[in-house]
Chains A and B, each alone.
Chain A
Amino acid sequence: MSESAITFKDVEKSFVKDNGSRQVILDKVNFSIPAGKTTVIAGGSGQGKSVTLKLVLALMRAESGQIMVAGDDITSIRGGKLKKLRTRFGVLFQGAALFDSMSVFDNVALPLRERTRKSEAEIKKLVLESLEQLELLGHEDKFPAQLSGGMKKRAGLARALQLKPEIMLFDEPTTGLDPVMTQEIYQLFARTQAQIGYTSIIVSHDIPKVFNLADQVIVLHNGNMDVFPSPEEIQWSQKTHIKEFVKTTMGEIYQSHLVE
């Protein structure tokens, strides 16, 4: 059993709808994200996949329960301690969240300029190396609005990886990309994870393709979580909603082929 990077203990989260009723997103869920591995969080729209990521980052707060990251409960810390804990994370947002008034170079250089004391020459070297690795060299002076969807994701990934995060969070990383680009992005994830050794959490609709990256799969359904130690094991579940999920997303038989 590998060590846990993140542990959810009895985490509850709900939203109040416009009509005053309460919608439960997470209902006292418990699970662990193994360190150095890839966990895929799947489930239908509105089941709380992105909310789970935001809880991990403390961009949203849980109503009760604990989310343990490196021995700290991220639900209860604030200020400088939270800031320090966040330095362990890298995030690739659904829309890449690049700063649209900055060039690709400045976007990727931002964490180095703001969070390290490196000289501008060192920063330039690191950024250009990373842009070359992600096949963005020659596009460094462009602005995000001038990039394709795939290029934006790669630039977002380059920015997120600059400070060598321990935990990478990917929110719908392949939404809006064609199948070839999707495959390229997945290969990129596998390659960078092998290099840096980060723990990876991927929230995705892209099933079953994303399972090729997964060591563990979590399926969200009506506020509950079903944890599977491998994508194949989902198929043997006897739960009705999982059977339905498998049938609509993966077909009858599925075998993962881990992306090299």
Chain B
Amino acid sequence: MRVNSVSRFGGTGISVVADLGRMGLYLLQMIQGCFRMPFRFSEFMRQMSFIGVGSLAVIFFTAASTGMVLGLQGYYSLHKFGADGMLGSAVSLTLIMELGPVLTALMVTGRAGSAMCAELGIMRISEQIDALDCMAIDPFRYLISPKLLAALISVPLLTVLFDVVGIAGGYVAGVHLMGVNPGSYIEGMRSSVTNHDILLGTVKSFVFALLIVWICTGRGYLVHQIKGAGFGARSVSTVTTQAVVLSSISVLIFDYLLTAILL
């Protein structure tokens, strides 16, 4: 019995290490794929539309509601200390440094990351990726690199949109609903937000874009090698769930690490 437990524990350990190794190699191949020619510009534009334009509505609504809640909550807390004038500063810094990049990344993971994972998983189990290999067409250049480059451009732009809409939402809630002075809201924001804060938010959004594409496409691409994922349609649904969960957790972990390193 004890031997069985040890053996199971060892087996799980080996499969986790093997999985990490595969994902590490996948990351390298994915980055290499971006430098291989010819570049698929039309597919890149399609991915920009899918990841970027397709996420506009969800980002807009999430940002507006987050900004408005921040405006109300911020006002409630700051008003106790007579510091209503700091509302613009609190809302903008929270959005630019933390909530903008993180919530954008989580929204993109749920909307586009899951779709990328499922698409590649289905291509893998229906031998479409094998077919590319057999035709000597590099799957990383052909399938993955347009997604990665599109995400690296779209996610930071969506984050900027999130920040702007969120700050406007905070303005509506704070100034129009709670009566904060509009000049102090704008001036508070202008005086407290520095280039370094904006850089931190931008670096985060780049890293999150890389994480999302790496984990989501990687789980789909490697679906046939993931132990315990099962077979066929079930394996694709399992890895898609895994991809969304792992990607979201990684975004949160890296958010902390990047804040700790770059703040």
Of the candidate stretches A7-15, A90-98, A225-233, A245-253, the one touching chain B is: A90-98
Q: Is the CB of B128 within 8 A of A97?
A: yes
Q: Per-residue CB proximity of B163-179 to A under 8 Å, as 1/0?
A: 00000000000000000
Q: A86-B136, A100-B126 are in contact. List 18 more A-B contacts (CB 8 A).
A: A57-B133, A59-B130, A83-B136, A84-B136, A89-B134, A91-B130, A91-B131, A93-B127, A93-B131, A97-B126, A97-B131, A98-B128, A99-B131, A100-B128, A111-B135, A114-B137, A114-B142, A115-B136
Q: Does B24 contact A (CB under 8 A)?
A: no
Q: Which B residues lie within 8 Å of A91 (CB)? A: 130-131, 134
Bound-complex Cα distance A103 to B11 (A): 44
Q: Which B residues lie within 8 Å of A59 (CB)? A: 130, 133-134
Q: Which A residues lie within 8 Å of B123 (CB)? A: 99
Bound-complex Cα distance A181 to B136 (A): 30
Interface of A with B (CB < 8 Å)? 20, 54, 57, 59, 83-84, 86-87, 89-91, 93-95, 97-100, 110-111, 114-115, 163
Bound-complex Cα distance A236 to B188 (A): 94
Q: Is the CB of A20 within 8 A of B136?
A: no
Q: Is the CB of B11 within 8 A of A93?
A: no
Can you sample 18 A-B contacts with CB below 8 Å?
A: A20-B7, A20-B11, A59-B130, A59-B133, A83-B136, A86-B133, A86-B134, A86-B136, A91-B130, A93-B130, A94-B127, A97-B128, A99-B123, A100-B126, A114-B137, A115-B135, A115-B137, A163-B135
Select which of A84, A97, A111 is within 8 A of B127 by beta carbon: A97
Q: Which B residues lie within 8 Å of A99 (CB)? A: 123, 128, 131
B259: min CB distance to chain A, Å:
39
Q: Which B residues lie within 8 Å of A87 (CB)? A: 136
Within 8 A of A (CB), among B105-123: 122-123
Bound-complex Cα distance A93 to B142 (A): 20
B183: min CB distance to chain A, Å:
53
Which partner residue on chain A sits nearest B127 by CB separation? A97
Select which of A84, A95, A110 is within 8 A of B135 by beta carbon: A110
Q: Which B residues lie within 8 Å of A89 (CB)? A: 134
